[in-house]
Structure 1
């Protein structure tokens, strides 16, 4: 009886084992084959990503072809390059077959996109025992490259008499200590050749704001030259407020062209070296109304044509690069603040808004108006806009396009700030996997 009982138990176990065997095989085989599929997928993905990235990498044939296109569409030869790149970078192992590759490489605006899809078949190991002989594998890869934009820069540099103030507190103190009326301004007066405060600043080794702006502008040309990735990618035009106050229209002045729009940045640098403080024929000429920002910005609005998308040299983006201490002092009989037809205020942003509405980006570098406690004009008309309200800084920032505003004291580095602004403008250049 006992012998029969145990024989019956062994038979039951055998039956249970037989019934559970397919499940065990499926589970084990599934784990092994699933792990292999993941491994193969990752290998194919890496090869596909390498192929799409290299297809539109800077200086690749497809990249150059895309840059030269003046319209959206398929980039000639791009898909062939992508497929060839994948084939060269991936050799299927013995358990992978039926590998098919399709690719498209296109340009839309300033963005080039390489898309690739790879399909393959994996021959299973263990799962084949239960009738699952193959598993499909599908991989997609997309890489994009932003075409370095063609940009026309229009520099408007404030060279009015207020830019003759010392660049640093030390420079200001030197001027104040060495002038009988404790004047911090290096006034450039035509009726006192060689004896005006401009000449005194030079003899004392004082650096003025305009000196720093001039050097910073030349440094900017060097940065632009080293940053270019395309031939003639950047063009520069330089304007200031005029070399001589008595040679400009006082009621409606226009920006004076220092250097015409050109891709010859070496020439632009040379022209920038001629920028100097505006001369006045004599002290208090035209009630010192030489900083008419409204007229100057309106003039630049006329000089700068509509902005393009920057995708080609024929359709460049447009950027106004405005460097100033931000204090308007101009002829304006429609506005009164105690002086007849004289407007002394922070910058009016009306024209800034009009420029931005036309697609022109505005980069503003505000050269901080340092306190001049010994100067009666500053105390009467400017101090209230500097502290505690900071209206000058606030208005200059409102004039700028988002992210394109810097406030910097000359002693902190105008050149560094101009370079940082430039790099921020062109920072859209990148490749993303």
Structure 2
């Protein structure tokens, strides 16, 4: 009887699904519990990674980059991490490991942690917590101490009226000038207009421009320099007065010095290296090149013309002479030597004298070159960038603001001698290309006639002076 009952039970197939389900519930519950706890642990890890990111970035903010005590840096990162890592479901708020590495001006911060996420099914997994870990690394460089050398074009081409309205007014104001200066958009500065003593009836075009309140390109450059060194400039750093340089110096906790030079056919010292505020007091000395009269820029000791053609822009010589005046740069650290930066503001066309024998002018210049005297010729060309390479090889950066050379299709001299370097547009021609090649990477800007030179120069300066922080991982 018992044997029959056991045989029937063994061969009976009724309710087999329920039995199989009951048997599989154990691994299913195990898998569900493990999945839930693992998912919650991953979520905690993401939140803790975000806390580590915030802590690392906090330790390389500009204000912290000036801090040299590692314990203070570590405490700052730890506090930020703790504030954001106080999450439910952890056994305790983890204490991060903060590593600070300084190399020169560069700082690297690594924030790492190990945390225990509480399991909801400890019995299933056989342990009370699930361990999670992670790290974040941020890098930034302190803003360096820098010396800025402003090299400003004061040649006759910078006497161009500043806007189209100014050009129209200048042309109208010069309608009664002598033939060579009549209906001219340039306010050329002559000591002896029309080769005669100046008088109420014999004025150079600069005098005409000033009498008619016409703004010139050189005026815009002067105003741009004034905004850099004198202001007014609205600075987010409270209690800071002056211009952009003073503001950025305060924000970055750095020391800036500034020098002002102009160039025409020679380098002219307006102010040697000093504080921006002191240099700013000499801005009024930035003036256009004065020539004696047309086609006679310079007189000899007897009052005769040394050269019989106009000239007055030698960018290469300006850069060469400035290079000789600049010391070797350092890394800009608090205990080191400042970095050196050249700020060149120019329209990019050289108009200089070269020897007829052995002199070199651009192969695309218009030949024959105009004669200046028996041994000298006049060369008009874009900048030869060889001197730029020499300066940059010394680890001196070059920032360039190109005040675009105005296209003058109705002017015969322009079309025959300059246009080939300034086409298809003043923004894309050879002149612009050479200046962009001269500038250090990322430190080139251009502004068209009538554009805001002050904003362009300020933006370029801020780009040089700014430092940023970035996450590495």
Structure 1 residue 425, shift from structure 2 partner: 2.3
**For the residues of structure 1 that align with 2:24 and 2:211, how far apart are their CA atoms?**
101
Contact 1:57/1:431 (<8 A) preserved? no
State the match for 1:233 in structure 2. 255
Contact 1:165/1:184 (<8 A) preserved? yes
Call closer, same or farther: CA 1:371–1:124 in 2, change over 3 Å.
closer
1:363 has 2:399 as partner:
yes
Moved more, 267-276 or 124-133: 124-133
1:125 has 2:126 as partner:
no
Moved more, 19-28 or 305-314: 305-314
State the match for 1:258 in structure 2. 270
Structure 1 residue 156, shift from structure 2 partner: 0.6
Structure 1 residue 159, shift from structure 2 partner: 0.4
**For the residues of structure 2 that align with 1:382 and 1:409, how far apart are their CA atoms?**
17
C-alpha offsets along residues 260-293 of structure 1, whole Å, 9 cap, x if unaligned? 222x323333322321111123332233232122
Q: 2:245 aligns with which of 198, 218, 224?
A: 224
Contact 2:370/2:377 (<8 A) preserved? no
1:140 has 2:161 as partner:
no
State the match for 2:215 in structure 1. 207
Structure 1 residue 44, shift from structure 2 partner: 2.9
C-alpha offsets along residues 97-126 of structure 1, whole Å, 9 cap, x if unaligned? 594532212222332222122112334232
What is the TM-score of this pair, normalised by structure 1? 0.84
For 1:162, what is the secondary structure of its paired residue? helix
For 2:345, what is the secondary structure of its paired residue? strand
Contact 1:237/1:261 (<8 A) preserved? yes
State the match for 1:64 in structure 2. 66
Call closer, same or farther: CA 1:130–1:371 in 2, change over 3 Å.
closer
Call closer, same or farther: CA 1:130–1:56 in 2, change over 3 Å.
closer
For 1:154, what is the secondary structure of its paired residue? strand
Call closer, same or farther: CA 1:13–1:4 in 2, change over 3 Å.
farther
Q: 1:423 aligns with which of 446, 449, 462?
A: 462
Q: 2:441 aligns with which of 385, 402, 406?
A: 402
Q: Structure 2 regions of 5+ residues with no counterpart? A: 230-242, 298-306, 362-368
For 1:312, what is the secondary structure of its paired residue? coil
**For the residues of structure 2 that align with 1:428 and 1:410, how far apart are their CA atoms?**
31
**For the residues of structure 2 that align with 1:295 and 1:28, how far apart are their CA atoms?**
79
**For the residues of structure 2 that align with 1:272 and 1:121, how far apart are their CA atoms?**
64
Aligned residues: 413
**For the residues of structure 1 that align with 2:289 and 2:273, how far apart are their CA atoms?**
22
Q: 2:105 aligns with which of 106, 110, 117?
A: 110
C-alpha offsets along residues 143-164 of structure 1, whole Å, 9 cap, x if unaligned? 3333223332211101012211
**For the residues of structure 2 that align with 1:14 and 1:386, how far apart are their CA atoms?**
89
**For the residues of structure 1 that align with 2:445 and 2:377, how far apart are their CA atoms?**
31
State the match for 2:286 in structure 1. 275
For 1:141, what is the secondary structure of its paired residue? strand
Q: 2:344 aligns with which of 318, 322, 331?
A: 322
Moved more, 364-373 or 203-212: 364-373
State the match for 1:413 in structure 2. 452
For 1:411, what is the secondary structure of its paired residue? coil
What is the TM-score of this pair, normalised by structure 2? 0.77
Q: Output aligned runs, 1:342-381, within 5 Å.
A: 342-372=378-408, 377-381=413-417
**For the residues of structure 1 that align with 2:89 and 2:314, how far apart are their CA atoms?**
78
State the match for 1:245 in structure 2. none
Call closer, same or farther: CA 1:155–1:18 in 2, change over 3 Å.
same
Call closer, same or farther: CA 1:290–1:76 in 2, change over 3 Å.
farther
Greater helix fraction, Structure 1 or Structure 2? 1
1:335 has 2:360 as partner:
yes
Q: 1:21 aligns with which of 21, 25, 30?
A: 25
Call closer, same or farther: CA 1:360–1:125 in 2, change over 3 Å.
same
